[in-house]
């Protein structure tokens, strides 16, 4: 069959499979983007950040800083918000929740297309290439992380490998180097540094492996191409790097240690819900993405014919085995986890895509060997025996070494049905071998692979009903218990744990002191630790205890620092008595308490350290610009109870002179003021963004100029 016609058939099949599989999420009152598979971050982090980014862009501001979270939080430098990612940028320009659902389907389709093209470039015929694409698109890892920022980066891995393969196979040209740079920049703009690290690691190793010493000249194209990706994405990348030393996040050595995956969890590669639905699994963040037994059987087909195996297949076998050894801490690969960067990227989770993708490509190689009748019954028996040993061994390990935290019981249907599918695949393979009908058998096996992967349905299809009116971009329906807070825009509120999820305040443009799963300023964490009375060194356990955020509990809400932070309102589900707080409303069985002692956002400290409130007030309050009116008869200091962070600059008006911002314990901005000052202007101009934006623009212009120079001589000739 002609390759173009074969690709057209594959593309139509992929479109149908993706839309049919996810059709339920596209119904009214449902949302694929806001679904909670095993991580609620899209609903409570990514979407609110997108809403805030879109509002800022539509008002003519770069989405650099958010003044509605905590005491102010970085937006672009948080990296996970990734407002410059093309998929997110589409929403920011055309803010519709349904658009995000269709963009997720587009990502899966792009992943499948890139994988198909890459597998074809390795010499695989259309059906094995399609098998590789289907396996990775419907793998457990992609199904679990379909609405996570990881996929923004990982979907570009086959595209990057495809460009490298084209460089190795043909003449190295400027176009190919540029294409590699664009793909790398798109991966770096994805919004997950750990996923970007593994993307860079895999494509760099693949380039070294394929070029080798004999063709090292190709590295002069591959490595600059990857470097070009860094330059093109500098606007976001340098903002993140500038802020990184100032920020605090959970992806550190502590998380890497507690995220250790025991070998008994290897069952998750073969059985989707051995102990029940994955989303109810106590350790779902650290279980391997499900692939099933049939793709593993196909991959083993290539291993038993290793003498005729192509060079790229050897690379993917090495990649899969090394990453699996690192995930399960098997020596000597276990020592990788102790190396710099590796000890901070939580590889237990973010190495999974590399494993699934490698096995998907190897499945294509195995099916190619089977389809071309290069697999006899003896080698097939060996392959089937290896897979059976792996499957039975993983069940025994899971049964003999149960989880200590939660009593779990093995469900018979969870392992019986995949084993039956494997048995059916084995019969089909034998039919193809004995009757030389390998092409028909190959098509049936690909169909079984799809069924095998769609068996995830019981474990990875959560209820996704939403109230669309509360999630719409323009004029969202405000819950009744939040109405008493509307109008007091310059104050902050908080809620007791479990009431009104953090970050949702961004949708309604309210200022919540709590923040869900971001890269927190270290000074913010120190302030919360001072209020709550825990050691900042113990912040990670406290973070998990409060549901991936930092909360102020009822017994500490009367802390003096709460007043200085301007936290004026508290939402409680129960009636409580707190000194200095009074109930002002009782909507929807919630209690809204007001803090009578809350300080305003600004105040002045005179030379005698006396606090004066009435001589300073907010004149303008934008995300990246704050203007404070001041009155002083003698030199003094003005304090703004907003987050101190690198990138903020202060100017005294009308003189226009820049003044230094100092840190007022624990996180406030403090500047000196003079009697002739009328206003103090705070502007957020981070150097990382300015330098990065300059590098990105210069890189784009240089590429355009290079293409023009290379085009016109050809035109004249």
d(CA 56, CA 66): 9
Please give the C-alpha separations between residue 630 and each of 333, 488, 564, 637, 668, in angstroms, as whole numbers. 61, 21, 19, 10, 17
Determine the length of the chain.
Answer: 717
Closest CA to 356 of 415, 409, 296, 431: 296
223 burial level (CB within 10 Å; 0-12, 13-18, 19+): middle
d(CA 550, CA 544): 9
Sort strands 616-622 and 648-653 into parallel, antiparallel or unpaired.
Answer: unpaired
* Res 365: pLDDT: 95
* Displacement of CA 655 from its chain's centroid (Å): 45
- Tokens 């895999």: give the residue: 202
Q: What is the token pair recorded at 213?
A: 């010493």
Q: What is the pLDDT of residue 169?
A: 84
648: enclosing H helix or E strand: strand 648-653
Take residue 658 and report the two structure tokens written for it: 């820049």
Which two tokens mark 402? 């149960």
Structure confidence at residue 691 (pLDDT): 95
3-state helix, strand, coil in the chain (%, to 5): 55, 10, 35
Orientation angle between helical segments 86-93 and 47-58, nearest 10 degrees: 60
Q: Is 159 exposed, middle or buried (0-12, 13-18, 19+ CB in 10 A)?
A: buried
Distance CA 271, CA 260 (A): 20
Instruction: Identify the pLDDT of residue 274.
Output: 80
What is the torsion angle, in degrees rounded to the nearest 10, for the CA atoms of residue 221, residue 225, residue 226 and residue 227?
100
Please write the tens of the pLDDT for every residue from 269-297.
898 878 776 555 556 566 777 899 999 99
Angle in degrees, 0-180, between the axes of helices 377-400 and 412-435, rounded to the nearest 10: 170
- Tally of helices (H runs) and strands (E runs) in the chain: 27, 18
Cβ within 8 Å of residue 692, ≥6 positions away: 234, 235, 236, 237, 238, 239
* Cis, peptide link before residue 583, omega less than 30° from 0: no
The residue ranges of the chain whose pLDDT is under 70 are 1, 172, 213-214, 251-260, 277-286, 337-348, 402-408, 457-460, 710-717
Picking from 593, 617, 507, 501, the residue whose alpha carbon sits closest to that of residue 551 is: 501
Check residue 625 and give left, alpha or beta (phi > 0: left; psi -120 to 50: alpha). beta
Q: From start to end of 187-299, where are the E strands?
A: 247-248
Looking at residue 717, its pLDDT comes to 43
Give the per-residue SS3 of 17-53: HHHHHCHHHHCCCECCCCCCCCCCHHHHHHHHHHHHH
Q: Are 358 and 323 in contact (CB under 8 A)?
A: yes
Domains of the chain in start order, with CATH, are 1-16+38-60+77-249+686-717 (no CATH), 250-464 (no CATH), 478-595 (no CATH), 602-685 (2.60.40)
β-partners of residue 621 are 626
Q: Give the CA radius of gyration of the chain.
A: 28
Nearest to 643 by CA among 615, 623, 673: 623
CA-based nearest residue to 233, from 198, 204, 200:
200
Distances (CA, A) of 297 to 48, 322, 370, 428, 647: 43, 19, 11, 13, 54
| List of E strands, 596-643 | 602-605, 611-612, 616-622, 625-630, 636-640
At residue 716, the pLDDT reads: 47
Question: Distance between CA atoms of 36 and 32, rounded to whole angstroms?
Answer: 9
**Placement of tokens 């004995």 in the chain:** 434
């Amino acid at each position: 069959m002609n390759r173009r016609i074969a690709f057209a058939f594959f593309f139509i099949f992929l479109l149908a499979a993706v839309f049919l599989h996810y059709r339920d999420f596209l119904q009214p009152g449902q949302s694929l983007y806001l679904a909670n598979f095993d991580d609620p971050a899209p609903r409570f982090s990514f979407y609110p950040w997108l809403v805030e980014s879109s509002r800022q862009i539509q008002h003519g501001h770069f989405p650099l800083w958010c003044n509605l979270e905590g005491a102010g939080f970085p937006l672009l430098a948080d990296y996970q918000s990734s407002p410059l990612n093309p998929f997110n940028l589409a929403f920011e320009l055309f803010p519709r929740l349904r658009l995000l659902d269709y963009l997720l389907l587009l990502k899966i389709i792009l992943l499948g297309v890139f994988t198909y093209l890459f597998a074809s470039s390795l010499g695989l015929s259309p059906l094995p290439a399609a098998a590789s694409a289907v396996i990775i698109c419907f793998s457990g890892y992609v199904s679990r992380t379909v609405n996570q920022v990881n996929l923004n980066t990982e979907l570009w891995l086959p595209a990057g490998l495809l460009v490298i393969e084209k460089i190795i196979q043909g003449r190295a040209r400027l176009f190919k180097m540029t294409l590699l740079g664009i793909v790398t920049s798109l991966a770096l703009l994805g919004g997950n540094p750990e996923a970007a690290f593994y993307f860079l690691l895999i494509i760099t190793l693949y380039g070294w492996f394929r070029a080798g010493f004999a063709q090292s000249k190709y590295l002069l194209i591959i490595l600059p191409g990857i470097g070009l990706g860094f330059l093109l994405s500098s606007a976001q990348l340098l903002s993140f790097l500038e802020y990184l030393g100032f920020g605090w996040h959970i992806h550190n050595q502590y998380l890497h240690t507690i995220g250790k995956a025991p070998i008994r969890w290897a069952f998750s590669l073969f059985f989707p819900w051995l102990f029940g639905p994955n989303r109810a699994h106590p350790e779902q963040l650290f279980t391997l993405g499900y692939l099933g037994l049939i793709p593993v059987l196909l991959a083993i087909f290539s291993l038993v014919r290793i003498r005729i195996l192509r060079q790229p297949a050897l690379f993917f076998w090495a990649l899969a085995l090394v990453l699996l050894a690192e995930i399960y801490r098997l020596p000597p690969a276990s020592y990788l986890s102790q190396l710099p960067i590796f000890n901070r990227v939580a590889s237990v989770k973010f190495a999974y895509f590399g494993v699934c993708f490698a096995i998907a490509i190897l499945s294509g190689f195995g099916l190619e060997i089977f389809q071309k009748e290069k697999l006899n019954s003896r080698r097939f028996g060996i392959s089937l025996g290896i897979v059976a040993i792996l499957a039975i061994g993983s069940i025994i390990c899971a049964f003999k070494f149960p989880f200590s935290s939660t009593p779990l019981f093995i469900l018979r249907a969870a392992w019986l049905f995949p084993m039956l599918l494997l048995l059916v695949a084995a019969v089909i393979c034998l039919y193809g071998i004995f009757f030389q009908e390998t092409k028909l058998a190959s098509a049936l096996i690909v169909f079984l692979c799809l069924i095998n992967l769609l068996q995830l349905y019981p474990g990875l299809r959560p209820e996704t009903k939403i109230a669309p009116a509360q999630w719409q971009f323009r004029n969202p329906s405000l819950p009744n218990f939040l109405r008493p807070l509307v109008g007091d825009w310059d104050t902050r509120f908080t809620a007791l744990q479990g009431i009104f999820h953090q970050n949702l305040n961004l949708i309604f443009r309210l200022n919540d002191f709590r923040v869900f799963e971001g890269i927190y300023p270290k000074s913010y964490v120190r302030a919360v630790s001072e209020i709550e009375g825990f050691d900042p060194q113990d912040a990670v356990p406290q973070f998990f205890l409060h549901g991936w955020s930092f909360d102020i509990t009822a017994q500490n809400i009367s802390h003096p620092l709460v007043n200085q932070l301007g936290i004026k309102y508290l939402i409680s589900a129960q009636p409580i008595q707190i000194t200095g707080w009074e109930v002002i409303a009782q909507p929807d069985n919630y209690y809204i308490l007001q803090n009578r002692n809350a300080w305003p956002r600004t105040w002045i400290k005179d030379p005698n350290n006396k606090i004066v409130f009435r001589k300073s007030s907010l004149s303008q309050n934008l995300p990246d610009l704050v203007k404070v009116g001041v009155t002083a008869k003698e030199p003094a200091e003005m304090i703004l109870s907003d987050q101190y962070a690198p990138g903020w600059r202060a100017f005294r008006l009308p003189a226009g002179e820049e003044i230094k911002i100092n840190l007022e314990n624990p996180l406030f901005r403090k500047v000196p003021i003079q009697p002739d000052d009328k206003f103090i202007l705070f502007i957020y101009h981070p150097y990382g963004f300015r330098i990065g934006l300059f590098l990105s623009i210069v890189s784009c212009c240089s590429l355009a100029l290079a293409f023009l120079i290379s085009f016109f001589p050809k035109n004249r000739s």
